[in-house]
C-alpha cells in the first residue's frame, strides 16, 4: 500500500476543498482549517472552462453542478442609453471554446457547498481557526494554530487565496512580493433585481470606468464596478473598512451614467449590499510553489486574475495535479520503509507538481495590455467594433480575451479514482 500522509490544508474554498477531495479519496488523513466561522458561501458568479470542466466531470460532480448552475444566456454590451450594441450568446453545443458565458456557470457558494458535501464525511473541517506560524524539518511540519494549540503534519498546503498568509510565512520576509498588480480595481456586491434578464451586461463609462451586472436568481443582481488605472483613493480604501470603500466607489461613479445612480444607491445600503467586497486585481507569479513540506495551490500560488476567466479552472486543475503527483510518487513507497525514503518521494512529488502544471499556468497568465477607453469618442469606437464582431459572429471574447485557448493536455493519473466521465 502507498504511504498515508497527514495533511493540513489552510483554506476551505474551492481549491482547498478540491484538493481535500482527491487526497481523502486516496486514504490520507486530511484536515482543512478555515478562518471563517463557517463554510464561506458568499461570493459572485464563477465559471469553468476547458480542463476545469474535464476535472469536475472526473470528480463525478457534474450532476450536482448542473443542479445549481446559473442559466445565463450570454453577455451584452450597452451604451449610456441602455441600447444593446453587441450580444454574445452562451455556447451550448458542448464543442469548441466557451464564450464569456460558459455552459458551466455557478455561484461561488454553491460550488463550495458541492465540494464540502462531497468531502465532509472523510475530511476533518475546523472553522474559525487559522495557522499563526509553522516550523518544518526534513520529516514534518509543526503548526501553531490561532487558538494556541499545535499540530504536526507531513504536509502543509496553503489554499488561502490571492493574499495568502501561508505564502507570506513560507517566503523570506526580505524577498520580492509575488503579487503583480494589473492596475485595476473591482468592487463586487449584490442588489435587488430591477427587471434585468438572465444575461450579463457590460457598460463602459468615461475615465476608464465600467459597470457590469449579472443575474443568478429571480430576486438578485450581481453588480460589479471596475476602474482601470492607478488611484491613491482606491488603494487606500482597499485597506480601510467597508463603509469607506463604498464611499470612495460612490464618489468615483457619481457621474458614470446608465444605471450608475441606482446601483451606487443600493450599494450604500448596508442591509442590501451586505456582501460587498473590493480588491486590487493582479496575478501571483512564483518560480516555485513549494518550500520543503509546505506547498501552495490555487490563487495562493498562481492567481491568474479575473481578467483571464480561468481562476476557478486553475484552482481545480492545480488541486488535481498536486494530488495526482503525490499519489503517483508515493505509490512508489512500496518497499520504502524509512522516513528518509518517504521524504524524498514527497519532495519529488512537489517538484513534479511544479513542472507538470507550469506550462498550463504560464499560458493562463499571459495577458495582452488591459485597455478601457477613457473618452466618449473611444467608447463609441469600441461599441462599434464590438458590435461588428458580434454581427459577424466573431467570438473575440472567448478566443482573444479570455485564456481558455491553451495548448496543454490534462494529465492522467492511474492512482486517482475516476468517478465520472470526462467525455
pLDDT in tens, 377-411: 999 999 999 899 888 877 766 665 666 678 899 99
Query: Regarding beta strands 200-205 and 179-192, do their DSSP bridges make them parallel or antiparallel, or are they unpaired?
Result: unpaired
- The confidence score (pLDDT) of residue 3 equals 63
Beta bridge partners of 2: none
The fourth-level CATH superfamily of domain 6-69+108-178+285-364 is: FAD/NAD(P)-binding domain (3.50.50.60)
Q: Model confidence at 422, in pLDDT bands (50, 70, 90)? A: low
Collapsed DSSP state (helix, strand, coil) of residue 214: strand
- The confidence score (pLDDT) of residue 321 equals 98
Q: What percent of the chain has pLDDT over 90?
A: 66
- The confidence score (pLDDT) of residue 34 equals 96
CB within 8 A of 366, min separation 6: which ones?
403
Architecture of domain 72-103+182-283+370-402: 2-Layer Sandwich (3.30)
Average pLDDT over every residue of 48-54? 91
pLDDT digits (tens, 9 = 90+) for 75-112: 999 999 999 999 998 877 666 666 788 889 999 999 99
CA-to-CA distance for 239 and 245, rounded, in angstroms? 9
CB within 8 A of 410, min separation 6: which ones?
51, 54, 55, 317, 320, 422
Break the chain into its structural domains and give their ranges: 6-69+108-178+285-364, 72-103+182-283+370-402
Average pLDDT over every residue of 179-200? 87
CA-to-CA distance for 222 and 70, rounded, in angstroms? 12
DSSP string over 31-52: EEEESSSS------EEE--THH
- The confidence score (pLDDT) of residue 333 equals 54
Average pLDDT over every residue of 212-241? 90
- The confidence score (pLDDT) of residue 291 equals 95
401 to 28, 66, 183, 308, 397: CA distances (angstroms): 40, 26, 17, 7, 5
Closest CA to 262 of 82, 70, 88: 82
Q: Model confidence at 342, in pLDDT bands (50, 70, 90)? A: low
H runs (alpha helix) in 331-407: 339-364, 376-391, 396
Lowest mean pLDDT among 36-50, 184-198, 327-341: 327-341
Cell numbers 473591482: residue: 186
Amino acid at each position: 500500500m502507498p504511504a498515508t500522509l497527514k495533511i493540513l490544508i489552510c483554506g476551505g474554498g474551492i481549491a482547498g476543498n478540491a484538493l481535500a477531495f482527491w487526497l481523502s479519496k486516496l486514504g490520507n488523513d486530511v484536515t482543512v482549517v478555515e478562518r471563517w466561522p463557517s463554510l464561506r458561501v458568499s461570493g459572485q458568479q464563477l465559471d469553468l472552462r476547458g480542463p476545469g470542466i474535464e476535472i469536475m466531470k472526473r470528480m463525478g460532480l457534474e450532476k450536482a453542478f448542473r443542479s445549481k448552475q446559473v442559466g445565463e444566456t450570454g453577455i451584452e454590451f450597452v451604451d449610456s442609453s441602455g441600447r444593446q450594441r453587441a450580444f454574445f450568446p452562451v455556447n451550448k453545443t458542448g464543442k469548441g471554446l466557451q464564450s464569456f458565458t460558459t455552459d458551466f456557470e455557478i455561484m461561488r457558494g454553491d460550488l463550495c457547498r458541492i465540494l464540502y458535501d462531497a468531502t465532509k464525511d472523510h475530511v476533518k473541517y475546523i472553522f474559525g481557526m487559522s495557522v499563526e506560524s509553522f516550523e518544518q524539518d526534513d520529516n514534518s511540519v509543526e503548526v501553531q494554530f490561532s487558538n494556541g494549540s499545535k499540530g504536526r503534519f507531513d504536509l502543509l498546503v496553503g489554499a488561502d487565496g490571492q493574499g495568502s498568509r501561508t505564502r507570506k510565512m513560507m517566503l523570506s520576509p526580505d524577498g520580492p512580493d509575488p503579487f503583480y498588480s494589473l492596475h485595476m480595481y473591482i468592487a463586487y456586491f449584490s442588489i435587488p433585481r430591477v427587471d434585468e434578464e438572465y444575461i450579463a451586461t457590460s457598460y463602459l463609462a468615461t475615465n476608464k470606468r465600467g459597470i457590469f451586472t449579472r443575474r443568478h436568481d429571480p430576486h438578485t443582481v450581481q453588480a460589479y464596478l471596475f476602474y482601470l488605472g492607478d488611484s491613491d483613493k482606491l488603494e487606500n480604501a482597499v485597506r480601510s473598512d467597508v463603509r469607506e470603500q463604498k464611499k470612495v466607489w460612490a464618489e468615483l461613479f457619481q457621474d458614470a451614467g446608465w444605471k450608475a445612480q441606482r446601483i451606487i444607491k443600493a450599494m450604500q445600503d448596508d442591509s442590501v449590499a451586505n456582501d460587498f467586497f473590493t480588491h486590487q486585481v493582479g496575478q501571483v507569479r512564483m518560480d516555485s510553489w513549494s518550500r520543503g513540506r509546505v506547498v501552495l495551490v490555487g490563487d495562493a500560488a498562481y492567481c491568474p486574475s479575473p481578467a483571464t476567466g480561468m481562476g476557478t479552472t486553475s484552482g481545480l486543475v492545480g488541486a488535481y495535479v498536486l494530488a495526482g503527483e503525490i499519489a503517483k510518487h508515493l505509490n512508489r513507497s512500496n518497499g520504502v520503509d524509512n522516513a528518509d525514503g518517504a521524504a524524498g518521494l514527497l519532495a519529488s512529488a512537489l517538484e513534479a507538481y511544479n513542472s507538470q502544471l507550469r506550462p498550463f499556468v504560464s499560458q493562463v497568465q499571459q495577458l495582452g495590455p488591459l485597455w478601457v477607453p477613457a473618452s466618449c469618442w473611444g467608447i463609441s469606437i469600441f461599441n462599434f467594433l464590438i458590435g461588428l464582431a458580434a454581427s459577424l459572429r466573431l467570438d473575440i471574447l472567448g478566443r482573444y480575451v479570455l485564456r481558455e485557448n491553451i495548448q496543454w493536455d490534462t494529465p492522467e493519473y492511474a492512482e486517482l479514482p475516476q468517478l465520472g466521465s470526462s467525455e
